[in-house]
Amino acid sequence: MTNRFLAFPALLCVLLAACGKSPGPTPAATSTDAPAASTSAASGESWEVVLLERDDPPNQLIRMMHDAAYLPCVEVAKLLKVSVKPFPVVPDNYGHRRVTRITNGTSSVVKTESLGGDDASSMDPKTGCVYTLPSEKMVSVSVSHAGKATQIEDGKVTSVEEIPEWPAHAPRGQESTEYTQARTVNGVELRCLPPDFWTMNTNKYLDLREMCVYKTDKVLVDESGDPLVLLSHAYANVVNPKYAYTAIVEPLSLRRIPKSEKDPYQVGNWGK
């Protein structure tokens, strides 16, 4: 059985929830067509932001698997006089996830591209402690549009669900006035929480250390109207300091989607 790493998004959900959110060098990006304060996704324009999700140090969860599961398996295999398979060499970018988010304020697309995952189903001392890392690229697309949420895996629709109507009395979009620190990352202009914000830098086992949104309100938002988190650093040390890591989200690029391109909210445009 192959398990995709869930720790990264799960960690962010835990930490970003405190701020009311639902959940190596990188190439320089350009955002020369970044929106002015007078434009917004709510006006019907669609914007695309590409994010990179990575861990620093990389592959800490795989390292923990090596120490906690593979090495004990090897010791038992020696007693059984069974030859073991070597633990795979893991490139630093193996667990990277490239997330493309498209929004016009009411509809959205989230495309996730990743390699990460592991297969420990054959890690048995009797069969040589085989541990493998899938090399195929996984592409997942979620489209929320016209009252439906559609999930597409590797070009095939896997689920379609109705989206409940937003309550008429409920406000849309959270305030972002607490994001007061200006910052630019890979050409994308941001506003960040100050270091002394009450949910930040608590020196706990789970610690949110940076969190930023786009500089202009109501441009890059989710279906609820809340600003997208474009940069975050979330520290995790929940097992052993040896395996502690920081889950990082950072923007790579930002652009306005021209009307000449295919409608990103049409499910058929994401199939194979």
Q: Is the pLDDT of residue 260 over 60?
A: yes
In a domain, 170, yes or no: no
pLDDT averaged over the chain?
85
End-to-end alpha carbon distance in the chain:
25
- In this predicted model, what pLDDT tens digit does every residue of 126-136 receive, in sequence order? 999 999 998 88
Output the six-digit token pair for 214.
């786009």
| Identity of residue 137 | K
d(CA 268, CA 27): 31
In a domain, 168, yes or no: no
> To 5 degrees, how large is the angle CA 120–CA 125–CA 127?
80
In a domain, 19, yes or no: yes
In DSSP terms, which residues pair with 148 in a beta bridge?
Answer: 145, 162
Q: Is the pLDDT of residue 257 over 70?
A: yes
> Alpha carbon of 164 to those of 21, 46, 101, 226: distances in Å?
19, 22, 21, 17
In a domain, 262, yes or no: no
In a domain, 266, yes or no: no
In a domain, 265, yes or no: no
Band (69; pLDDT cuts 50, 70, 90):
very high
d(CA 178, CA 91): 38
> Alpha carbon of 214 to those of 33, 176, 196, 228: distances in Å?
14, 10, 20, 7
Q: Domain of residue 194: give its range.
A: 2-162+175-257
In a domain, 17, yes or no: yes
Contact 256, 98 (CB under 8 A): no
* Gyration radius (Cα) of the chain, Å: 21
In a domain, 268, yes or no: no
The pTM is what? 0.81
Give the chain's domain count: 1
How many CB atoms lie under 10 A from the CB of residue 227? 22
